[in-house]
Amino acid sequence: MSFNLPLSFPVFDGNEKKYSSQAIEAGHLATYGEFIGKFEDKLSRKVKSHQSVALNSGTSALHLSLVLLGVESGDEVICQSFTFCASANPIVYLGATPIFVDSERDSWNICPEILEDTILSRIANGKKPKAIVVVHLFGMPARMKEILEISQKYDIPIIEDAAESVGSQINGQFCGTFGDLGIFSFNGNKIITTGGGGALISRDTQLLQRARYLSAQAREDLPYYQHLEIGYNYRMNNMAAAIGLAQLEQLDSFVEKRRKINRIYRMLLADVDGISFQNEAPASYSNFWLTSILIDPKKAGTTNDKLRVRLLKEDIETRFLWKPLHLQPVFQNMPYFGGTISEDLFYNGLCLPSSVSLTLDDQERIVNLIKSTLVKSIYK
Ligand SMILES: *Cc1c(COP(=O)(O)O)cnc(C)c1O
C-alpha cells in the first residue's frame, strides 16, 4: 500500500545512484565487489571499536549470532517480548525455546528487574539461558548499564537487536556495541536501507571471522568447493552494499532529522491531555526512527485505533506498536515473565509518520487531525 504520508519512507538523495551504477559497470552485483568491503569499513568506523560483517538481513544476523553463541536444540534464550517477531524467530529456527520478558515503562524495552528474576527462575528450573536478546525499540536505547551487570553476574552473553536503532547512543557509545554481539537491519523502512540487508558487529574478531565463513556457505579456502560444516547463504550483495554506503554517509543527517521530527511532535502535542511519548533516559540518544505516542483513552476520550482510522482517511499511515510476542498465537506456549506493561503499550500506542522527507506542514496537519479527533470526543 502506498500512502500520501507513509510511516517511514526512504530518501536516496546522496550517492546511491552513483555507487549503484559503478557496481553495475563493474559487473559485480552478487557477493563479490568493492562496495561490500567499503560498506563494512565505514560501518565499523562509525560504531568504533567494533568490526562488522555485512549480511542480507537483520534476521540472518540474529540467526548467525545465536549459532556463534552455540545455541542448540533444547536450549533456552531470553528475549524481550515487546518487539518484532524477527527478534525471536531465529531462536525457534535452532530448536531452542524463547523465554519472553516484559518491558519497563520508560524506555519500553526489557525490564532489568524482571530479567534477573527470570534468570533465577530458569536456573532454579534446571536450565541456565544461553543468551539474552535485548532490543532498542523504535530507536530508543534500553537500560544497558543494568542489563550488562546482570549479564556479567550470571555469565550469560547478550545479543543486542539494534535493528531499529542504527545511530542511537548511550553516553556517546553506539547501540549494538554494548553486548557480545550486535545486529543491525537495513530493510526498506529502517533509518538507513540497502533494500534488504543487515549486519553483525562485535569486538571479537575471531567470532566475526567465523560469522563471515558461516555466512558464505562455510566454504573452505581451497581451489575446489570443500565443506566441513553446514553454512548459510547470508552475505550482503555488492549492489545492496553500494546503496548502503551512500545511505551510511547520510546517517548523521537522517538521525538529526528524525530527532527534529520527534521534537516538533512533542512541542505540537505538549498541551494535549492524554497523549504521552517514549522518553529518553538522561544519557540516552535515540535515533527516533519512529516517533511513538501513548493515548490514555480516559483522558483523551479516544483510542489509538480511532486515531489510526481518522488519519487513514486522510491517506496518512500510522501503526500500532509491536504486539508483544508472548501474546502472539504462534508463541502462545512459550514461557513469559512479567506483567502487563508491554501489553498496555500495545493497546494504547501509535507510531506516527517519521520519514526524513516529512515537512513541518505535514506534521501540523497530522497533529491538527489528532487534536480535532480528541475535541470531537469531548463534544459527543
Ligand atoms: C526489522 C527488524 C528486524 C529484522 O530485520 P530484517 O532486516 O527485516 O530481517 C529484527 N528486529 C527488529 C526489532 C526489527 O525491527
Residues forming beta bridges with residue 170, ordered by sequence position: 173, 284
Of 64, 161, 185, best ligand 1 pocket probe by most atoms within 8 Å of the beta carbon: 185
Residue where one domain finishes, among candidates 220, 251, 282: 251
pLDDT band at 63 (very low <50, low <70, confident <90, very high): very high
- The per-residue pLDDT for 182 is 98
pLDDT tens for 2-26 read 899 999 999 999 999 999 999 999 9
pLDDT of residue 376 exceeding 90, the answer is no
Q: What is the DSSP letter of 211?
A: H
Q: How far is the CA of 377 from the centre of ligand 1 (A)?
A: 36
Residue 256 Cα distances to 252, 260, 290, angstroms = 6, 6, 13
Q: Note down the domain range covering 282.
A: 252-379
Q: Which DSSP string do the residues of 150-178 spell out, in sequence order?
A: HHHHHT--EEEE-TT-TT-EETTEETTSS
pLDDT for 2 equals: 81
CATH number of the domain within which 51 lies: 3.40.640.10
231 & 299 share domain: no
pLDDT digits (tens, 9 = 90+) for 264-286: 999 999 989 999 999 998 899 99
Task: Clarify whether residues 312 and 216 are in a common domain.
Answer: no
Q: State whether 160 and 191 are in the same domain.
A: yes
Q: Average pLDDT, stretch 84-103?
A: 98
Cβ of 160 less than 6 Å from ligand 1: no
Helices (H) and strands (E) in the chain, counts: 13, 14
Q: What is the pLDDT of residue 313?
A: 97
Pair (233, 205) in one structural domain = yes
My answer on whether 100 and 241 are in the same domain is yes
Q: Is 67 a residue whose pLDDT tops 80? A: yes
- The three three-digit cell numbers of residue 165, written as one number: 536503532
Encode burial over 241-270: b for 16+ CB neighbours within 10 A, e otherwise.
bbbbbbbbebbeebbebbbebbebbeebbe
Distance in angstroms (rounded) separating the CA atoms of residues 61 and 80: 17
Average pLDDT over residues 96-103: 98
CATH number of the domain within which 330 lies: 3.90.1150.10
Chosen domain end from 251, 273, 299: 251
Asked if residue 84 and residue 55 are part of one domain, the reply reads: yes
* 222 and 173 part of one domain: yes
Q: Is the pLDDT of residue 1 over 80?
A: no
Same domain, residue pair 161 and 290: no
Q: Provide the pLDDT confidence category of residue 380 given band limits of 50, 70 and 90.
A: low
Q: Is the CB of 56 under 6 A from ligand 1?
A: no
- pLDDT tens-digit readout, 288-301: 999 999 999 999 99
CA pair distance 140, 286, nearest whole angstrom: 5
Given the CA of residue 60, which atom of ligand 1 is nearest to it?
9
49 pLDDT more than 80 = no
* Pick from 1-10, 55-64, 66-75, 233-242: least confident: 1-10
Is 11 inside a domain boundary? no
Beta pairing class for 181-185 and 158-161: parallel
**127: pLDDT strictly greater than 90:** yes
Residue 99 CB less than 6 A away from ligand 1 = no
Q: Are residues 257 and 111 in the same domain?
A: no
CA distance 33 to 25: 11
141 vs 300: CA distance, rounded Å: 28
Task: Quick: pLDDT tens for 329-348.
Answer: 999 999 999 999 999 999 99
Q: Is the CB of 164 under 6 A from ligand 1?
A: yes
What is the phi-psi region of residue 315: left when phi exceeds 0, alpha when psi lies from -120 to 50, beta otherwise?
A: left
The mean per-residue pLDDT over the stretch 92-96 comes to 98
